[in-house]
Structure 1
Amino acid sequence: MGDEEKVIIVEGRSDKEQIRKIIDEEVTIICTNGTLGIERLEQLLYDYDLDHKQVYIMVDEDSAGHKLRKQLARELPHAQHIYVDRTYREVAATPAPELATALLSRSIMVHPFFLV
């Protein structure tokens, strides 16, 4: 999957802002704003050409996040999953060093500053 464009799918704007601060490469971050209807999901697949990109799913560790992860995994079987520690529950509430380590584990470049 070499130089394919990377896309991270998150739930909310605060998740997006938190990740944006940490990553150190060009990555498109898509907010779903919660669960997706079929039409909206199809539109995202089409608009972002997700079948031909390196896709990462990073959602909250709660029931809404699990539901969204399942839905996205069905539509994007090639997507890689990035998990946050269950104790923090939310991507936005996860400490930056934890997020940086999780992102780096999927070969997403992060600012070294966050790797404490």
Structure 2
Amino acid sequence: MQRANSALSLSRNAVRIAGPALAGLIAAAANGAWAVAADALSFLIAAAFLSRLPRSARVSGARGSLRPDLRTGWREFRSTRWVWTMALSYFVINLANVGPWQVLGPALTAGRSGGAAWG
């Protein structure tokens, strides 16, 4: 298990570094559409790998209806204070940081120095 977690962590961190750099290079060399196409291709490759995994058996005692599961999950979410406070803090962070970064950043850069500079 330790070796598997290590390999997973290594690949996750490598992709966090190489992915945006590669997307920036593709966007600068061609255009944003090719970067999105490469991203879509990576999802297809991941789906092909996931399709080779064995299907797990259904968990015994699992309910068949979505509504009771949602009610139970929402009740559990609300009853655990640290969970909903963290969710609220991530909401604020995404609202104040990620939204402007991903929406206003490219718009301002396109008007000043072009999309290649943003990539």
Higher helix fraction: Structure 1 or Structure 2? 2
TM-score (norm 1): 0.20
Higher strand fraction: Structure 1 or Structure 2? 1
TM-score (norm 2): 0.20
Q: Which has the larger radius of gyration?
A: 2
